[in-house]
Structure 1
Amino acid sequence: MKKEVSMFDRPEKLAGYDIEQYVAFCGNLSWYDFVTSIPQSVFVVTGWKSNGKENACLHSWSSFMGSGLDNFICVLGKVDKGGHMYQSLKETGVCVLNFPSKKIYDRCIKTIGNNQFETDEITASGLTAEKALKVNAPQIKECFLNIECEYLWEQELFAGSKEVVIAVRAVNISMDNEYSDQTKLGRYGKNGYLYYIDQPTNPETGEITTTINYGTVEPGEPL
């Protein structure tokens, strides 16, 4: 049996806190983010700030798609127009998407706090910045996959939104040999791609039923 979950008929509290304050604190989310808990891949977007300092933004809410042999596109689904990441992309036209494994996830989270304009955000978080090969941007050495990208276009999520969708196109990819081989560390499983999962929430009570920080994906059996 299915029950309709209304956007507007919702509990006043989420995880014991005022629901509007809670979703704002979590990154200007929607109530439906917590109702659905749809996983999204986790990566760190890096570039240069206008003062030459490293910018690093832990990011999710994005999708990847190919279009013909020569075009691999990432649609960054939610970028704050007031953030360093947006400013860096607009000023330089390039960035790197860096995919961490769980062994460095704790350091990637530190980039959230180390986001002052005068801070080298990669270095301050205990990670190693190195020059990308094809674009003028730093990348994270410890990440097993680095996708160098150029800016294509942007669009507001809705009229007047403070956030935009941005499309970037891959121009170069570097992948650790141990991860490109699924018989070794591999891209999937406990060592591979990480997925951000909003804490699964009871839509009737607002109670968080399971606390989840990140998840991984296991390859299924052939059909």
Structure 2
Amino acid sequence: MKKEVSLVDRPDKLAGYDIEQYVAFCGNLSWYDFVTSMPQLVFVVTGWKSNGKENACLHSWSSFMGSGLEDFICILGKVNKDGHMYQSLKETKVCVLNFPSNDSYDRCVQTIKNNQFETDEITASGLTTEKATTIDAPRIKECFLNIECEYLWEQELFEGSKEVAIAVRAVNICMDSESYDQTKRGRYGNNGYLYYIDQPTNPETGEITPVGPGIVEPSEPIEWSGN
């Protein structure tokens, strides 16, 4: 049996806390973020702050799409206009998207704590900085995939929102050779892409199931009919 889940008719408590306070504490999320718990790719956006220090922002809520052979676009779906990441993108017009696997994820999480303006956020988190190939931005060496990007445009999520969606275009990709060979380390499974799973929530009780980052396990191919 399906249940209609309203935006306004919701439990008073979420994980035992006042729901409005909990949602605000978790980064200005919607109630529907918790209800749907849609997985999103995890990556770290890196660039330079205006003082020359490394900026690193652990990020999700984004989508990737190709548009012809030449254009591979990422829509950074939720960027706070008050954050270092937004300021860096507006000033430099470039960034690198760095994709960790399980063996480097714990250090990428440390960038959340090491986000002071005067801090080199990559190296302070136990990661290694390397130069990007085509743009002036730092890459994270430990990440198996690095996508160097140029800024295209931005759009408020809704009128008056403090967050924007930003489009960036890939201009260069660097990938670990063990990862692009799926017969070796590969892009999927325990050594591949990580997905943020936003605290699966029971919409009737407000009970939350704690989970960590998820992985993708590929299945057997399904024949495509072409219809």
TM-score range relative to shorter protein? over 0.9
Show the counterpart of 1:144: 144
Q: Distance between the aligned counterparts of 1:104 and 1:116, measured in 2?
A: 21
List aligned pairs for 1:39-50, cutoff 5 A: 39-50=39-50
Matched residue of 1:121: which SS?
coil
Show the counterpart of 1:192: 192
Show the counterpart of 1:217: 216
1:213 Cα deviation (Å)? 1.8
1:99 Cα deviation (Å)? 0.1
1:53 Cα deviation (Å)? 0.0
Matched residue of 2:166: which SS?
strand
Q: Distance between the aligned counterparts of 2:7 and 2:102, measured in 1?
A: 34
Show the counterpart of 2:202: 202
1:180 Cα deviation (Å)? 0.4
Show the counterpart of 1:33: 33
Show the counterpart of 2:103: 103
Q: Distance between the aligned counterparts of 1:185 and 1:20, measured in 2?
A: 43
| Superposition TM-score, scaled by structure 2 size | 0.97
Over the residues paired in the alignment, what is the CA RMSD in angstroms? 0.5
Per-residue CA distance 1:38-93 (angstroms, 9 max, x = gap): 00000000000000000000000000000011000000000000000000000000
Q: Distance between the aligned counterparts of 2:142 and 2:92, measured in 1?
A: 23
1:20 Cα deviation (Å)? 1.1
1:24 Cα deviation (Å)? 1.2
Show the counterpart of 1:168: 168
1:157 Cα deviation (Å)? 0.2
For these two proteins, the number of residue pairs brought into alignment is: 222
Q: Give the residue type in structure 1 aligned to 2:173.
A: I
1:27 Cα deviation (Å)? 1.2
Q: Give the residue type in structure 1 aligned to 2:109.
A: I
1:12 Cα deviation (Å)? 1.0
1:123 Cα deviation (Å)? 0.3
Matched residue of 1:65: which SS?
strand
Q: Distance between the aligned counterparts of 2:212 and 2:70, measured in 1?
A: 35
Q: Distance between the aligned counterparts of 1:45 and 1:162, measured in 2?
A: 19
Show the counterpart of 1:7: 7
Q: Distance between the aligned counterparts of 2:23 and 2:186, measured in 1?
A: 34
Q: Distance between the aligned counterparts of 1:3 and 1:218, measured in 2?
A: 29
Percent identical among aligned pairs is 83
Per-residue CA distance 1:138-181 (angstroms, 9 max, x = gap): 01000000000000000000000000000000000000000000
Q: Distance between the aligned counterparts of 1:25 and 1:114, measured in 2?
A: 18
Q: Distance between the aligned counterparts of 2:221 and 2:97, measured in 1?
A: 30
Per-residue CA distance 1:119-145 (angstroms, 9 max, x = gap): 000000000011100000001000000
